[in-house]
Structure 1
Amino acid sequence: MTGTPATPSQPYASPVRPRRGSRPGGPAGGPLLVLAALPVLAALALPAAFAGGGTRRWFGGRAESQRAGAQAAKDAAAAAFYELDTAQRELRISIETITAVDDSPAARRAIDDFAALGRRIDEVSARYIEAVDATDLDRDDLDAAAAARARTALTRAKDDLDNVRRELERFAEGLGPLLGKAETQLARVAPAVERARQALRGAAGALDGVRSAGLRADDLAARLAALSPELTRLNEGAGRHGVRQTLQRAERVAREAEAVRAEAERLPEKAAEIDRRLVSLRTRAQALTTRAGQVEPVLSELRRRFALACWQDLQHVPEQAAENVRQAERKLAEARAAREEQRWADATALLSTVRALLNATDEAVSAAGERLRRLNEVQKDPQREVERTRFAIRDAQRLAMAGRTTPDPRHAGPLDEAVARLERAVAGLTGRHPDYWRFLTETEAIRHSVADVVSRIREERGAAH
């Protein structure tokens, strides 16, 4: 093979493909002649020169183009994966917000749907990672076919990631009402907790105030201390205990603390009121002792002038009144001791018992004098009681006949019976000592039965109109 050797000063020419129709070694002076004349050392150095300084072997323009396309697809898929991951994390926060507040069927469905989307995201993410790991795009010997397959797989993975992200975005749009409701609930938490704290501080301050006035409030202090664990739970936050539970706890703590504060503030007034009631009930017990001593003369007159049935139920009044007063005085002493020990609830309960005893005594003592008064009146003029009862009966009969030609049997029957009962009561006033008390109780019972008939008539006519 002949030709002119290349000198060191001549630049090295890049190889070119031979022109179509020419032959190697022809008159045109083809590159094969130049290569044949190169020294052996220069020929050994050629691969490094073609490699561009040792960075990558050259395999042709098509392979590099496919590699670049695959790399672009890989970058696009990575961006889609990042966007999907970001959207999922943001939506998870919304779901957690709803979960903390809402346990309605709609909220539970949303949670289930998000879980299903999560499984779909896991599937497409796994395919994306598989596509990335399947081909090393930086490999020196990557051929065009492998690069094309990688590009196709990565593009498909990117499309799957985008589709799921769009599903996630549509799902997030549908969560609007649930999320709005949950955020509204969350916005109530901080103010509610703060109100509870302020109520506790107010209760503690009120307790300090009454203690400085020399009053104990051990029961109130115990109630306030019982709220301390609840405050700890409030401080731990809704994230741990749930929004609804936290709101309910805050409202309960505020309500109970406010009750403690109000009772503490009323405590000085309560102490003064107990002191007044002690004095008042003691005075009333003394007065009843005097009045109870006047029952025996009343009973003596009743026994002398009226039949046994007129006073028999009153003969134990003096003894019962004396016993009630003695019990009231014992309870007063216990109430005074409870007041000294500042057992306010006990003192109040004991004073209520004293009042009930004295009321019962007052009624019994008054009943004896009232019995004698009424018996004196009816003994003097029985006809007055008879006319009073007859007037009530006639008035009811006129009402029953108003607007009617014949009375309603439901009304006429009781009224006719009232007339008969009155006649029997009047007939019973015979003998030396008539039972005037029975007469009085019977006429009173007749008037009550007549009044019941009048009420029924008016109710029926009112309903008809």
Structure 2
Amino acid sequence: MTATPAQPYSPSLPRAHRPRRRFPRPPGPVRDTLTLMGLPLLAALALPAAFAGGGTRRWFGGRAESQRAEAQAAKDAAAAAFYELDTAQRDLRISIETITAVDNSPAARHAVADFDALGRRIDEASRQYIDAVDAHDLDRDDLEASAASRARTELTAAKEELGRVKQELDRFTEGLGPLLGKAETQLARLAPAVERARQALLAASNALDSVRATGLKADDLAARLAALSPELTKLNQGAGQHGVPQTLERAETVTRGAEAVRVEAERLPERAAEIDHRLVSLRTRAQALTTRSEQVEPILSELRRRFTVACWQDLQRVPGVAAENVRQAETKLTEAQSARDEQRWADATALLSTVRALLNTTDEAVSAAGDRLHRLNAVQKDPQQEIERTRFAIRDAQRLAMAGRNTPDPRHARPLDDAVSRLERAIATLDGRHPDYWHFLTETEAVRRTVAHVVSEIREERGAGH
């Protein structure tokens, strides 16, 4: 009889997992004869061998079979430990891949290196187990008790080594907790962040469509939104290609950019109305300042006639400066109107800001002339009011400096004494045929500023002392 060839040896599988050799298949005539006798095929094949004592296991009891059973139990326990370690290693590899997908920090790189080293320990323990399994065929009929004992010893040692490596792997897994938690948190943020970016882009696009439907152009906003398209493409390509941290950052950038476009698009009708209002308001103000500027020359004439040169010489250029500023403001208003008509909103806003600055400067200069005449009239009529106002400020500061003290602090007393002397000198300038009232007013103002500074210092120091 010709036996069926055995399956080729596969080094990747332990002997326990390889297919067993089949019984020889009898030739056709013999098989037919046995079948006609009414005997099952396998039973018929087994009968001659049982009687002849060849080709089957010798069913001896005693120590050999006991050792075989113990070796088989050790083999089963080692297989269970091998499977448990292999499963734990697969789970840990998933955790490591999660960390490396998100984290490129030194701690993460160190964890990967430790995992590789632990993998080499696992390979060594697994090789010891596989070698022990391959070295002993526990299904041999003539297995001796000593061979079974050696198999049990080697398989038990392999199981214990697998257990020790499994404990190392468990400790390593436990130490990965913080890194893994951080990575899982970032991964949990990834999908919502990308979805927010997409929704923000959609909202911005819808806002632009709504604005354009009203007849307003938003070319600059459309350009800004178009600039985000490459970023959206990268988001759609996924974190596997671009990395989780980079994808999260890109999603946040897209969300902020699209949200800004949406807000500006929704506000565009209001912005257009605001620019229209400012155009009208600033044009009216420019016209009013033109009228007021014409009144500066009569004011200067009166100042020249009644007061010394020092009281009005710094105002000589006000009429010319005012007229030039108003002219420039009107030119800028024309440019702003053109920008608004062309819906160049940023240009219109910038031009209106320039117009406002020019008109503010003109207003201050024109007002300064009228204010100067008013103050000089008041001090010429009654200088005593300005004197008493300044003396009251000095006395109030002196009382504060002496509060709770027998003598004032020299740092406070000296500037207050100087203020008294300065006021007296200013009062003295009023004597004479043509007093310099403007010098007198500027001196009293300077004295009050000095006194106010001393008061502020005293209060700060006492507040810090508390």
How far apart are the structure 2 equivalents of 1:319 and 1:230?
A: 55
Q: Say if 2:324 is the partner of 1:323.
A: yes
The answer (yes or no) to whether the contact 1:102–1:182 under 8 Å persists in 2 is: yes
Structure 1 residue 430 displacement after superposition = 3.7
Aligned to 2:398: 397
Structure 1 residue 50 displacement after superposition = 4.6
Segment drifting more, 354-363 vs 226-235:
226-235
Segment drifting more, 249-258 vs 340-349:
249-258
Alignment of 1:363-382 (within 5 A): 363-382=364-383
How far apart are the structure 2 equivalents of 1:401 and 1:162?
A: 87
How far apart are the structure 1 equivalents of 2:376 and 2:54?
A: 134
Larger Rg: 1
Alignment of 1:16-415 (within 5 A): 49-50=48-49, 56=55, 61=60, 76-102=77-103, 107-134=108-135, 149-150=150-151, 152-415=153-416
| Per-residue deviation, residues 356-392 of structure 1 (Å, max 9, x unmatched) | 0000001001111111111111122222222221221
The answer (yes or no) to whether the contact 1:379–1:436 under 8 Å persists in 2 is: yes
The answer (yes or no) to whether the contact 1:325–1:358 under 8 Å persists in 2 is: yes
Structure 1 residue 322 displacement after superposition = 1.0
Structure 1 residue 218 displacement after superposition = 1.7
The answer (yes or no) to whether the contact 1:51–1:58 under 8 Å persists in 2 is: no
Residues 56 and 289 of structure 1, relative CA distance in 2, 3 Å threshold: farther
Residues 239 and 53 of structure 1, relative CA distance in 2, 3 Å threshold: farther
Structure 1 residue 74 displacement after superposition = 5.0
How far apart are the structure 2 equivalents of 1:55 and 1:75?
A: 29
Equivalent position amino acid for 1:357 in 2 = L
The answer (yes or no) to whether the contact 2:58–2:141 under 8 Å persists in 1 is: no
| Per-residue deviation, residues 45-67 of structure 1 (Å, max 9, x unmatched) | xxx95588999466785888877
Residues 237 and 406 of structure 1, relative CA distance in 2, 3 Å threshold: same
Structure 1 residue 268 displacement after superposition = 0.4
How far apart are the structure 2 equivalents of 1:74 and 1:158?
A: 8
Structure 1 residue 78 displacement after superposition = 4.1
Residues 95 and 55 of structure 1, relative CA distance in 2, 3 Å threshold: farther
| Per-residue deviation, residues 299-345 of structure 1 (Å, max 9, x unmatched) | 11112221111111111111111111111111111111111221111
Aligned to 1:37: none
Residues 374 and 174 of structure 1, relative CA distance in 2, 3 Å threshold: same
How far apart are the structure 2 equivalents of 1:103 and 1:54?
A: 69
The answer (yes or no) to whether the contact 1:324–1:358 under 8 Å persists in 2 is: yes
The answer (yes or no) to whether the contact 1:203–1:257 under 8 Å persists in 2 is: yes
Equivalent position amino acid for 1:342 in 2 = Q
Equivalent position amino acid for 1:93 in 2 = I
How far apart are the structure 2 equivalents of 1:311 and 1:238?
A: 74
The answer (yes or no) to whether the contact 2:190–2:248 under 8 Å persists in 1 is: yes
The answer (yes or no) to whether the contact 1:63–1:143 under 8 Å persists in 2 is: yes
Equivalent position amino acid for 1:221 in 2 = A
Segment drifting more, 350-359 vs 163-172:
163-172
Residues 161 and 402 of structure 1, relative CA distance in 2, 3 Å threshold: closer
Equivalent position amino acid for 2:287 in 1 = Q
How far apart are the structure 1 equivalents of 2:355 and 2:81?
A: 85
How far apart are the structure 1 equivalents of 2:52 and 2:290?
A: 128
Residues 133 and 154 of structure 1, relative CA distance in 2, 3 Å threshold: same
How far apart are the structure 2 equivalents of 1:252 and 1:130?
A: 57
Q: Say if 2:438 is the partner of 1:440.
A: no
How far apart are the structure 1 equivalents of 2:225 and 2:174?
A: 46
How far apart are the structure 1 equivalents of 2:205 and 2:298?
A: 60
SS where residue 168 of structure 2 aligns? helix
SS where residue 354 of structure 2 aligns? helix
Aligned to 1:16: none
Structure 1 residue 137 displacement after superposition = 6.6
Percent identity, aligned pairs only? 78
The answer (yes or no) to whether the contact 1:195–1:254 under 8 Å persists in 2 is: yes
Segment drifting more, 219-228 vs 409-418:
219-228
Note the residue ranges of structure 2 that are not aligned, 5 or more in a row.
Answer: 1-46
Residues 225 and 362 of structure 1, relative CA distance in 2, 3 Å threshold: same
The answer (yes or no) to whether the contact 1:422–1:443 under 8 Å persists in 2 is: yes
Aligned to 1:426: 427
Residues 51 and 433 of structure 1, relative CA distance in 2, 3 Å threshold: farther
Note the residue ranges of structure 1 that are not aligned, 5 or more in a row.
Answer: 1-47
Equivalent position amino acid for 1:329 in 2 = E
Taking structure 1 as the reference length, what is the TM-score of the superposition?
0.80
| Per-residue deviation, residues 239-289 of structure 1 (Å, max 9, x unmatched) | 444444333333332222212111110000001101111111111111111
Residues 50 and 351 of structure 1, relative CA distance in 2, 3 Å threshold: same
How far apart are the structure 1 equivalents of 2:326 and 2:302?
A: 24
How far apart are the structure 2 equivalents of 1:303 and 1:209?
A: 63
How far apart are the structure 1 equivalents of 2:261 and 2:244?
A: 26
Taking structure 2 as the reference length, what is the TM-score of the superposition?
0.80
Q: Say if 2:456 is the partner of 1:458.
A: no
Equivalent position amino acid for 1:86 in 2 = T
**Alpha carbon RMSD of aligned pairs, Å?**
3.0
How far apart are the structure 1 equivalents of 2:185 and 2:427?
A: 79
Aligned to 2:13: none
Residues 378 and 52 of structure 1, relative CA distance in 2, 3 Å threshold: farther
SS where residue 127 of structure 2 aligns? helix
| Per-residue deviation, residues 113-150 of structure 1 (Å, max 9, x unmatched) | 32321121121123334344556677899877666655
Equivalent position amino acid for 1:270 in 2 = R
Residues 69 and 336 of structure 1, relative CA distance in 2, 3 Å threshold: same
SS where residue 222 of structure 1 aligns? helix
Structure 1 residue 178 displacement after superposition = 4.1
The number of equivalent residue pairs is 418
Segment drifting more, 107-116 vs 332-341:
107-116
How far apart are the structure 2 equivalents of 1:210 and 1:54?
A: 100
Residues 170 and 451 of structure 1, relative CA distance in 2, 3 Å threshold: closer
The answer (yes or no) to whether the contact 2:49–2:55 under 8 Å persists in 1 is: no
